[in-house]
Amino acid sequence: MRISLDRSAADGRPIYQRIAERIRGEVAAAHLAPGDRLPPIRALARELGVNRDTVALAYEALASAGVVESSVGRGTFVAEAPGRGDAPRGVASPALSVLAERVLELDRSRPRFGSANGAVPLHTLIPDPSLYPSDDFRRVLNRVLARGGPDLLLYGEPQGHPRMREVLAARLREAGVAIDAEELVLCHGASQGISLAVRLFAGPGDVVALEEPTYNNVLGTLAGLGLRTAPVPMREGGIDLAALDRALSRPEVKLLYTIPTFHNPLGTTTSPGHRRALLEIAARHAKPVIEDGYQIDLRFEGRPVPPLAAQDGAGLVVHLHSFSKSLFPGVRVGAVAARGRPLEALLALKRATDLSDAMPLQAALAEFVASGAYDRHLARLRRVLRGRRDALCAAVERHLPDAALWTRPEGGTQLWVDVGHGIDTSDLLADAVGAGVLFAPGSQFLHDGRSSCGLRLSFAMADEAAIERGVAALGKLVTQRLAAGPRPAVGAHI
């Protein structure tokens, strides 16, 4: 049956909620019966004149409530026992905050890969578990627990384990960052560090300048903090400096978030000259810069480029460091480097956020790094990643159309591909899952989730043989799309 949408009902709710409510009403009225198939996302989006992501959000909400059931390759069907996830009859569901609704909407718009077991994982930046130095780390952890005793199991300092801060400060000084242990605040990975750093300079309603495309989890973090974004386009050499100058001149823009080294999702690294120019712009407008150095230890080619924090003479840069991608995510140790009043405020925010980090893990990591075991692990990991990068670039050149463009990173675990020809990679993903290959569509790295012909491919998890299979499957799908000709455009994103 035809599903319509009353656009005159301007009650402030997101469009996806109104679509979900309309379908729920059709089910309640028995116009849609258990087992009936809902229209494909693409078809319903075209019919309603909305973005595919908006319909996908509606279907996700209905699935969470038990009204429908979805499976990759088959479609979405009315559940046999619809509504089992609803609140009991007569009991009102608690209203979520506006910020929670925004984050929920963003989260539901992300691709779900749970039903794609066995597919080639070119979508994730999570390190390959087969490369984890788990035995070496376990031995170090046992030693520090035996030596530290019960004291390590108490609450620790909000600033983090002193020895870990000393070890990390020494490494940052080797990279050119003039810093000591007292100017570091440890945290639960770079994710918590981003939230803490942003809150230093911006509050609800303020605007954060960021690269477009950018790390998708940052978009969720900013939404959850009630912040707005000022996207600045990325060019071949890095962020568009003229556009950045204009963005930072706006009084409501409070800071810049940037990933200058092994950019996520592009994989690119900016030059020293570009970094100096960026810092000059930030200094002219007196706007702080949050530098995300989450993969800075993963360079496997070319000469290292000093981080922004190493070139910062005005004290504007807050530098983030993480071990989640260079070691393993479960260690949950990141750090924020700051000076002066931002450092004082950072400590206050950390105390207000949690009571303590995991002292045993920080103590073990400190010994692991100081002993040289971390550098030995990095040497092996970099060799593996370089081989996988080469395999991925060769496979992309071999299997994707001649018009496709891609980046060639000097480190990190990801590269960006522009397949061109007007192909929406979000639309392509469902077919890719069915063909046994996963990737990250470009729309999830854009502030408004609009359609994109770009995609991110990662070589973090897949080995060379799997990379070849996955890119061959992806190339076949792109070729088929091209042969089928252009598809009707969907409505603007809502």
Q: Report pLDDT digits (tens) over 369-419.
A: 999 999 999 999 999 999 999 999 999 999 999 989 999 999 999 999 999
Exposed, middle or buried: residue 246 (CB in 10 Å: 0-12, 13-18, 19+)?
middle
454 with 337, same domain: the answer is no
Examine residue 433 and state whether it is found in any structural domain, yes or no: yes
181 with 297, same domain: the answer is yes
Whole-number pLDDT of residue 113: 63
Domain that holds residue 34: 15-95
Do 292 and 258 contact (CB within 8 A), yes or no?
yes
Rounded to whole angstroms, the Cα distance separating 63 from 25 reads 15
Which of the listed residues 323, 350, 371 is the one where a domain comes to its end? 371
pLDDT at 326 over 70: yes
pLDDT at 95 over 90: no
Residue 193's pLDDT band (cuts 50, 70, 90): very high
Whole-Å CA distances, 85 to 54, 220, 467:
21, 25, 39
- What is the rounded average pLDDT for all residues in the chain? 89
In tens, the pLDDT along 247-304 reads 999 999 999 999 999 999 999 999 999 999 999 999 999 999 999 999 999 999 999 9
Question: Taking residues 456-463, what's their average pLDDT?
Answer: 97
The residue with tokens 């060769």 is 394
pLDDT at 34 over 50: yes
Give the rounded percent of residues in the chain with a pLDDT score beyond 70: 90
29's CB contacts (< 8 A; 6+ apart) are: none
Look up the pTM and report it.
0.82
Examine residue 367 and state whether it is found in any structural domain, yes or no: yes
Minimum mean pLDDT range among 87-101, 164-178, 231-245, 429-443:
87-101
72 with 142, same domain: the answer is no
Structural domain count of the chain = 3
Residue 84's pLDDT band (cuts 50, 70, 90): very low
Higher pLDDT, 111 or 150: 150
Here the tokens at position 330 are 């479960």
In tens, the pLDDT along 415-457 reads 999 998 788 998 899 889 889 999 999 999 999 888 899 999 9
Minimum mean pLDDT range among 34-48, 84-98, 199-213, 392-406:
84-98
Q: Domain of 64: which CATH number?
A: 1.10.10.10
Examine residue 403 and state whether it is found in any structural domain, yes or no: yes
Whole-number pLDDT of residue 487: 55
Higher pLDDT, 435 or 14: 435
Which of the listed residues 95, 110, 145 is the one where a domain comes to its end? 95
Residue 490's pLDDT band (cuts 50, 70, 90): very low
Dump the DSSP string for 298-347: -B-SS-----HHHH-SSS-EEEEEESTTTT-GGG--EEEE--HHHHHHHH
Q: Could you tell me how far CA 388 lies from the centroid of its own chain? A: 21
pLDDT at 320 over 80: yes
Question: Taking residues 311-330, what's their average pLDDT?
Answer: 94
pLDDT at 67 over 80: yes
Q: Could you tell me how far CA 408 lies from the centroid of its own chain? A: 20
Question: Taking residues 212-223, what's their average pLDDT?
Answer: 95
Question: Taking residues 18-34, what's their average pLDDT?
Answer: 84
Question: Taking residues 138-162, what's their average pLDDT?
Answer: 92
342 with 394, same domain: the answer is no
Whole-number pLDDT of residue 114: 53
Examine residue 262 and state whether it is found in any structural domain, yes or no: yes
Return phi, psi of residue 333, to 5°: -125, 115
Which of the listed residues 331, 355, 371 is the one where a domain comes to its end? 371
Question: Taking residues 331-344, what's their average pLDDT?
Answer: 93
Whole-number pLDDT of residue 493: 28
Minimum mean pLDDT range among 243-247, 351-355, 384-388:
351-355
337's CB contacts (< 8 A; 6+ apart) are: 172, 177, 179, 183, 184, 309, 318, 319, 320, 321
Return phi, psi of residue 471, to 5°: -70, -35
Question: Taking residues 20-39, what's their average pLDDT?
Answer: 85
338 with 393, same domain: the answer is no
Rounded to whole angstroms, the Cα distance separating 35 from 68 reads 9
Whole-number pLDDT of residue 85: 47
In degrees to the nearest 10, what's the CA dihedral of 104, 207, 210, 328?
-50
Examine residue 392 and state whether it is found in any structural domain, yes or no: yes
Residue 489's pLDDT band (cuts 50, 70, 90): very low
Q: Domain of 354: which CATH number?
A: 3.40.640.10
Whole-number pLDDT of residue 492: 28
388 with 338, same domain: the answer is no
Rounded to whole angstroms, the Cα distance separating 177 from 309 reads 6
402 with 475, same domain: the answer is yes
pLDDT at 80 over 80: no
Whole-number pLDDT of residue 494: 21
Nearest residue to 464 via CA among 386, 400, 409 = 386
341 with 476, same domain: the answer is no
Return phi, psi of residue 121, to 5°: -85, 80
405 with 293, same domain: the answer is no
Amino acid at 59: Y
58 with 41, same domain: the answer is yes
What DSSP character marks residue 89? Answer: T
221 with 269, same domain: the answer is yes
Examine residue 78 and state whether it is found in any structural domain, yes or no: yes
Residue 81's pLDDT band (cuts 50, 70, 90): low
